[in-house]
Structure 1
Amino acid sequence: MTTFVLATHNAHKVEELRLILGERLGPHELIGYDGPEPVEDGDTFEANALIKARAAYAHTGLPSLADDSGISVRALGGAPGIHSARYAGTRDDVDNYTLLLKNLEGETDRAADFVCAAALVDGEREVVVRGVWPGEVLEAPSGAHGFGYDPVFHPDGIATSSAELTADEKSAISHRSRAFGALLEQLRELYG
């Protein structure tokens, strides 16, 4: 059995990753990360995911899983992108999506993708994969579940915002689910 560190201090992500990976990870164990937060100064989701996984591996010596994720809006040239969590400068979800809605006022093209890069660092290898969840930005928030930009994101093929999905529904189809699903295939090959 291998113990993997979830390289995040974000309780919402830990909960979501436990739902996504849970039983699918087999006999392996997932533990939280209590080490220092690294400076996320990469210029892509993949670079930032690797920065976090490397830091957790350096701190714990255990195989580490990390992600970097955000929303990329076509009309804003891909913004907020890697700056999604800090978009409004406050690290507050409501402030972030309120600023996004303000910046999209009057815009008819509201196409957006939730993007997640998932990384593994274990001292012998570094693996990073990407998951994308296409949709559009709503004109007003809707729903009380989820976190981040969920209240203003309407996924393609779904009748509601992602904040109106249950945790189980979201964890089955989200950008994070897609990225970690792809990473899980490689974990099975590497760790059984």
Structure 2
Amino acid sequence: MLQLVFATNNAHKLEEVQAIIGNKFNLKSLTDIGCHDDIPETGVTFQENAQQKTDYLVERFDVNCFGDDSGLEIDALGGEPGVYSARYSGSRDMEQNIELVLERLNGQASRKACFKTVISLFLAGRQYFFEGAIEGRIIEERRGDGGFGYDPIFIPNGYSRTFAEMSAAEKNLISHRSIAVSKMADFLNQF
């Protein structure tokens, strides 16, 4: 069974990805390999940040691995929060990040948004990239208790519920991360 290290300690992300790729791969977290470092994310694009994660792990642990970077891009905010989604308010407190988004969108007619994910996979000495995106809109107040991040304020196009109101299985069928992970899983199945 192929072992892959996912450059995260986020339990939600790990569960989401494991559910998508199934049991064909032995998925490990950073903690599982003894990596307790805060891997830098200094890129200005999702791809740069994702690649920084895999480069870091390859240099220090010499493992097959993948890292992702995801974010929310809002048209009326010029693409913000973008690569700064996790720390948009200056902290990693998602409640503060959501509040800032809602505050900055107050009075805006357009609430169009897009969640994006880029995955960098390092496998057998080569680098590969996979992308996923889902369009939607930002609502005016939080709804739902599931998910994480901006899920309580994002409704994907064609739906009436936020990601936070959907079950994990339902969200995994359509999310930006699931699209990118599914592309990677298809690639891995043919590798």
**Structure 1 length-normalised TM:** 0.93
Is the Cα–Cα contact under 8 Å of residues 46 and 129 in structure 1 kept in the other structure?
no
What is residue 109 of structure 1 aligned with on the other side? Answer: 110
2:4 matches 1:7: no
| Count of residues paired in the alignment | 187
What is residue 141 of structure 1 aligned with on the other side? Answer: 142
Considering only aligned residues, what root-mean-square deviation do their CA atoms show, in Å? 1.2
Superposed displacement of residue 64, structure 1: 0.4
Stretch of structure 1 that moved more, 31-40 or 87-96? 31-40
- In the alignment, the residues of structure 1 paired with residue 51 and residue 190 of structure 2 have an alpha-carbon distance, to the nearest angstrom, of 20
2:183 matches 1:182: yes
- In the alignment, the residues of structure 1 paired with residue 38 and residue 55 of structure 2 have an alpha-carbon distance, to the nearest angstrom, of 11
Superposed displacement of residue 106, structure 1: 0.0
The amino acid of 2:17's aligned partner reads: L
**Structure 2 length-normalised TM:** 0.94
Q: Percent identity?
A: 39
- In the alignment, the residues of structure 2 paired with residue 21 and residue 185 of structure 1 have an alpha-carbon distance, to the nearest angstrom, of 9
- In the alignment, the residues of structure 2 paired with residue 153 and residue 103 of structure 1 have an alpha-carbon distance, to the nearest angstrom, of 15
Please show how residues 1-192 of structure 1 align to structure 2 within 5 Å.
1-23=1-23, 26=24, 28-34=25-31, 35=35, 36-122=37-123, 124-190=125-191
- In the alignment, the residues of structure 1 paired with residue 124 and residue 79 of structure 2 have an alpha-carbon distance, to the nearest angstrom, of 33
Is the partner of 1:129 in helix, strand or coil? strand
Superposed displacement of residue 49, structure 1: 0.7
- In the alignment, the residues of structure 2 paired with residue 19 and residue 94 of structure 1 have an alpha-carbon distance, to the nearest angstrom, of 26
Is the partner of 2:16 in helix, strand or coil? helix
Is the Cα–Cα contact under 8 Å of residues 119 and 183 in structure 1 kept in the other structure?
no
Runs of 4+, deviation exceeding 4 Å: none
Superposed displacement of residue 100, structure 1: 0.3
- In the alignment, the residues of structure 1 paired with residue 54 and residue 171 of structure 2 have an alpha-carbon distance, to the nearest angstrom, of 24
Show structure 1 runs of 5+ residues with no match.
Answer: none
Show structure 2 runs of 5+ residues with no match.
Answer: none
Is the Cα–Cα contact under 8 Å of residues 33 and 56 in structure 1 kept in the other structure?
no
The amino acid of 2:104's aligned partner reads: N
- In the alignment, the residues of structure 1 paired with residue 15 and residue 60 of structure 2 have an alpha-carbon distance, to the nearest angstrom, of 22
Is the Cα–Cα contact under 8 Å of residues 53 and 121 in structure 1 kept in the other structure?
yes
